[in-house]
């Protein structure tokens, strides 16, 4: 735990991530089912929620990854599953890019599939991000696409025909990155994505793509760290 706090507190924009995560955790009310996002910004929201639980807040969390589930248990947040609680009151999650319509690119941490399922089951999705994530248009960050291993090469070809360069995600040690769902990720450089909703439909229609990291119309509020404060973006 101490080691994990060290890791997250040393990254670039760490102060902004913490400010955003902590501000979002204040939006959670007693009795709520809470979707718990993944990544170094969502991390701070989970830590802050853990502190509130220790102080008496009654919530139940649904984690978007094995990693976040482990963290939530460590800080004392009781957990449930979507089977038991298919309606989530509020989800707090990070993003790799946030555009002016609050469309997002997500999946830098590889948890996009569960993150999108949880976001889509939530009455409210709150994005937490540092100021570097806010962009005029999506696409500089390579779009993560989760694929079943059986179809990977075929899907790579289809993504090339859409004008992107897909790259199979590897771990820093050189081994293949495998998601919590046993799939692989193609990080696809499209350059500027002029029409994110249209691209989202094209990708969703390719058999073997389990999910892609375009989150269209899911977030209504983004809390963005700016210096040591936060800015709220609404749609
Ligand atoms: C994980 C995600 C993360 O929310 C996204 O990558 C942002 O991460 P961070 O807050 O560490 O910058 O989508 O799949």
Domain edges within the chain: 2-132+216-225, 143-206
89 SS3 class: strand
User: Which residues approach ligand 1 with their CB closer than 6 A?
Assistant: 37-42, 93-96, 106-112, 115
Name the CA dihedral angle for 104, 105, 110, 116, rounded to a multiple of 10 degrees: 40
Report CA(97)–ligand 1 centroid distance (Å). Answer: 9
In sequence order, the 6+-apart residues with CB closer than 8 A to the CB of 82 are 62, 117, 118, 121
Buried b (16+ CB within 10 A) or exposed e, 23-62: bbbeebeeebbbbbbbbbbbbbbbbbbbebbeeebebbbb
Specify the CATH number of the domain 143-206. 3.30.70.260
Q: Whose CA is nearest to atom 6 of ligand 1?
A: 108
| Residue 115 among the catalytic residues | yes
Looking up tokens 């081994």, which residue turns up? 175
Residues 77-91: tens digit of each pLDDT = 999 999 999 999 999
Residues 15-36: tens digit of each pLDDT = 999 999 999 999 999 999 999 9
Best substitution site from 18, 45, 46, 95 to test ligand 1's pocket, by max atoms within 8 Å of Cβ?
Answer: 95
Catalytic residue among 18, 115, 146, 211: 115
Contact criterion met (CB below 8 Å) for 166 and 156: yes
Residues 89-102: tens digit of each pLDDT = 999 999 999 999 99
pLDDT-flagged residues of the chain (< 50) = 1-7
**What's the predicted TM-score (pTM) here?**
0.95
The CATH class given to the 2-132+216-225 domain equals alpha beta
């Amino acid at each position: 735990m101490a080691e994990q706090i060290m890791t997250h507190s040393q990254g670039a924009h760490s102060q902004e991530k913490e400010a955003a995560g902590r501000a979002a955790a204040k939006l959670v009310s007693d009795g709520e089912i809470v979707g718990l996002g993944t990544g170094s910004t969502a991390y701070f929201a989970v830590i802050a929620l853990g502190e509130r639980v220790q102080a008496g807040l009654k919530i139940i969390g649904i984690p978007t990854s094995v990693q976040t589930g482990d963290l939530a248990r460590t800080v004392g947040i009781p957990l449930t599953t979507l089977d038991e609680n298919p309606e989530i009151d509020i989800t707090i999650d990070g993003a790799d890019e946030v555009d002016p319509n609050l469309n997002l690119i997500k999946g830098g941490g590889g948890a996009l599939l569960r993150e999108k399922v949880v976001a889509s089951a939530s009455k409210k999705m709150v994005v937490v991000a540092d100021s570097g994530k806010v962009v005029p248009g999506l696409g500089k960050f390579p779009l993560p696409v989760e694929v079943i291993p059986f179809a990977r090469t075929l899907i790579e070809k289809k993504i090339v025909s859409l004008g992107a360069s897909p790259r199979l995600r590897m771990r820093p040690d050189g081994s293949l990155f495998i998601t919590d769902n046993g799939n692989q990720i193609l990080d696809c450089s499209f350059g500027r994505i002029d029409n994110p909703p249209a691209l989202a439909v094209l990708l969703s229609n390719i058999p073997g793509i389990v999910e892609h990291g375009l989150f269209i119309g899911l977030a209504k509020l983004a809390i963005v760290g700016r210096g040591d404060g936060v800015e709220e973006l609404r749609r």
